[in-house]
Structure 1
């Protein structure tokens, strides 16, 4: 199997549409970690991601009958652009099915790249709905389905990145990091690199809320996750590919999972060192590299990450900038109970020393005490944070660390008003709303008049899904949950979240 793949990789004509991307040094990050860090700049491809390699290689190898019938794929972004560019180059009609929630900038890019050779079909609110519709159209029209990752020719096309990388850096390499969604990129690279340089460690990186390959390999079978996070949408895959799973299980040495905040911090590192503006999945490998490197005793290792793409909405960068400081452990978010009397804020600031307060949110609670939500800039990470918490506790301030609390970071820090009065049976939920007209109306109509909404907060984060925090009054738990399931939006209950209990939960 490996020999056949190597031949496919060595003969893949990807440079009809792709370029050989540079291998850039990251001097600032290298100095900070005490390692030699480089990054492979696949964000510089004509479609701003590596996906054009695999899509073109697959479509190039279609026979004349398959080309005449045309191809189809389903994608919300990078794969769609790769197929569109390949269709235009090869003169093959392509139907590309995208969710109706796909941002206009991505839809327009697909149409621009494909021109007369591409028909874009918008269907459904979610990728799974678009994928199913594409499969139905494929059967009806006898079209060839261009899989985004689980196809030998696609895998071989992505493997050309590994060939370039080894040629560009013939010196010793300790580890190479690549993002994993369905696994096409890592599988292709692993086949080539392990055949030529088996001494190099290969480490796959996934979001901690979408680690389908890590889960599958560790459980010994291709399992399907119930839910996946949507921040790094380029790797938000519930089940890894069949071909890619077998390759990665055999050849990849280790896996690292990273948080949203760690990914945002890696996006900032890439910008600081190379001025690259990577998409979240594009920065994933760098985030994993940083996390892995921090756990190593040995220094001066040569570590390389693949920057897989740069298709990010500009308005999403505001959210990224906010989370990057937390991802680098340069900001802490605390909930602190302080006495309700003059001078307590001054004393609080004196206790934390010269560290800047990045934000301070306060609402009167009662005559005895107040709850404050405060951001503090850190210089020395977790050790310094632990020292601050100990100092506050020793001086009678009850403090809770909310730095890793998603409700606090996504919603609470942007809300005003505090806890309500006279609100009974309130339950709190976080929802993912598709970013399309009518999403809220559909939510309200399906919920019906049976329940009262007692709290609502929405903030646009520049992605395909909006984050919504909603309080719902109900004394019939079973009925409420039936209505929520009928709506079909992903949700998570937060009624027991300490941030809610401190700041928003109605007084009894």
Structure 2
């Protein structure tokens, strides 16, 4: 047994004074779908609905053990890390100053305040996270506070490893495969390091959002690198640069085992889990389950554990999730249509729609010429094959149009 194993076991044991171990549940629906034994490690069911409470608890505990006089902790976060820190500071009776971007949704601010109560102060600083982080670190230097990093910290990694401790204690046998979401790498590196000594036969798949594939980039460069841009939709895992300490543990990972989750496809998984299972997952929390679609030919008959890392989903985002899912499934399109400015032209267009087609949006943009006008049209249907048939009818009737569904630049301007 390694020193890391000892400390991870100790961390898991001490957490029981704060919250019970999260369930490891066999999912009958997914097991039948993939012909495998699919188990979900429900980190969305911690007191703060994410695994981040583990790393925060362990880091604060160890700092306090080494220096009981340290009573001020500082972090920068717009989400789950902030909530975990707030909850743990309330538990330990210490103070925290939590820096959040000015653009943080009010729901996340309110939840963090509820968890921390009088133990925390929230400061809204900066439009972008880099500005928020710089302010938090500067405040630490001025006040002597202890900065709680969300993932690039040995104590945090050790705390996240408690997920692996619980998996091995809860399953009747060692799993064949564990599917892990990756953002900054704290969870993945902790689980991998613990399993390396306690269950070395376990295989892994790592899944990160396609718009924030920092682990894949680091493996390619053989060192952590900063992505030039990040799609923030999967906000719990969309990290521009994987942590240096997590990468030291993950640098030997086979790049073929690192998967990129399409942001729109993740939405289909979120809706399936909600509608079929009644399980609410945030985008990052759905990453591991979504990745099963990419490895379906590799898992038949195997025991697979997917870590559902978080369930902090703001239902005000549900319309966006539904639309992204429709677009991925080919059930929704946005067109720019050149509409003739003559009586009956709109009626002619409407007559081409099939019985399963529906107009979700119709907006005149401008008249591009005296006899024509540009119209933004959002169309929904029930079967993806309905669109080619509709487009064929439109072409035959002489309507000029452009499908802008996957044109991110143009869609951002007009949709």
TM norm structure 1: 0.70
Correspondence 1:309 to 2:310: yes
1:213-232 aligned at under 5 Å gives the runs 213-232=215-234
Q: Which residue number corresponds to residue 501 of structure 1?
A: none
Q: Indicate the larger mover: 233-242 or 31-40.
A: 31-40
Q: Which residue number corresponds to residue 280 of structure 1?
A: 283
1:416-455 aligned at under 5 Å gives the runs none
Q: Between the two structures, name the one with larger relative contact order (CA 8 Å, sep ≥ 6).
A: 2
Check 1:25–1:349 CA distance in 2 against 1; reply closer, same or farther (3 A cut).
farther
**CA–CA separation in structure 1 for the residues paired with 2:207 and 2:95:** 35
**Superposition deviation, residue 146 in structure 1:** 1.4
Q: Which residue number corresponds to residue 104 of structure 2?
A: 102
Q: Which residue number corresponds to residue 19 of structure 1?
A: 20
**CA–CA separation in structure 1 for the residues paired with 2:391 and 2:352:** 12
Check 1:93–1:330 CA distance in 2 against 1; reply closer, same or farther (3 A cut).
same
- SS of equivalent to 1:11: helix
Paired residues of 1:333 and 1:376 also in contact (CA < 8 A): no
**Superposition deviation, residue 188 in structure 1:** 0.9
Q: Which residue number corresponds to residue 44 of structure 1?
A: 45
**CA–CA separation in structure 2 for the residues paired with 1:220 and 1:308:** 27
**Superposition deviation, residue 388 in structure 1:** 6.5
**CA–CA separation in structure 2 for the residues paired with 1:199 and 1:113:** 39
**Superposition deviation, residue 182 in structure 1:** 0.8
Q: Indicate the larger mover: 261-270 or 245-254.
A: 245-254
Quote the RMSD (CA, aligned, Å): 3.1
Check 1:365–1:35 CA distance in 2 against 1; reply closer, same or farther (3 A cut).
farther
The structure 1 residue matched to 2:84, chosen from 82, 85, 88, is 82
**Superposition deviation, residue 52 in structure 1:** 0.7
Check 1:388–1:38 CA distance in 2 against 1; reply closer, same or farther (3 A cut).
farther
How many pairs does the alignment contain? 405
**Superposition deviation, residue 149 in structure 1:** 0.7
TM norm structure 2: 0.85
**CA–CA separation in structure 1 for the residues paired with 2:379 and 2:209:** 25
Correspondence 1:4 to 2:7: no
Check 1:50–1:6 CA distance in 2 against 1; reply closer, same or farther (3 A cut).
same
- SS of equivalent to 1:202: strand
Paired residues of 1:230 and 1:236 also in contact (CA < 8 A): yes
Check 1:223–1:300 CA distance in 2 against 1; reply closer, same or farther (3 A cut).
same
Paired residues of 2:359 and 2:377 also in contact (CA < 8 A): no
**Superposition deviation, residue 245 in structure 1:** 0.7
**CA–CA separation in structure 1 for the residues paired with 2:167 and 2:115:** 27
Check 1:241–1:327 CA distance in 2 against 1; reply closer, same or farther (3 A cut).
same
Correspondence 1:263 to 2:262: no
The structure 2 residue matched to 1:150, chosen from 149, 152, 156, is 152
**CA–CA separation in structure 1 for the residues paired with 2:376 and 2:119:** 58
**CA–CA separation in structure 1 for the residues paired with 2:62 and 2:52:** 16
**CA–CA separation in structure 1 for the residues paired with 2:258 and 2:394:** 38
**CA–CA separation in structure 2 for the residues paired with 1:85 and 1:174:** 34
Check 1:172–1:412 CA distance in 2 against 1; reply closer, same or farther (3 A cut).
farther
- SS of equivalent to 1:261: helix
**Superposition deviation, residue 378 in structure 1:** 4.5
Structure 2: gaps spanning 5 or more residues: none
* 1:323-356 C-alpha deviation (Å, 9 max, x unpaired): 2222344434455667776564256335xxx543
Q: Which residue number corresponds to residue 349 of structure 2?
A: 345
Q: Indicate the larger mover: 339-348 or 61-70.
A: 339-348
Q: Which residue number corresponds to residue 191 of structure 2?
A: 189
Paired residues of 1:68 and 1:92 also in contact (CA < 8 A): no
Paired residues of 1:263 and 1:327 also in contact (CA < 8 A): no
**Superposition deviation, residue 261 in structure 1:** 1.1
* 1:117-176 C-alpha deviation (Å, 9 max, x unpaired): 323333222221121112112122222221111112211111111222233333464432
Check 1:14–1:298 CA distance in 2 against 1; reply closer, same or farther (3 A cut).
closer
**CA–CA separation in structure 1 for the residues paired with 2:144 and 2:376:** 62
**Superposition deviation, residue 180 in structure 1:** 1.3
1:203-222 aligned at under 5 Å gives the runs 203-222=205-224
Check 1:30–1:272 CA distance in 2 against 1; reply closer, same or farther (3 A cut).
farther
* 1:47-84 C-alpha deviation (Å, 9 max, x unpaired): 11111111111111124563423222221121112112
* 1:63-117 C-alpha deviation (Å, 9 max, x unpaired): 4563423222221121112112212222222222222332333233333322333
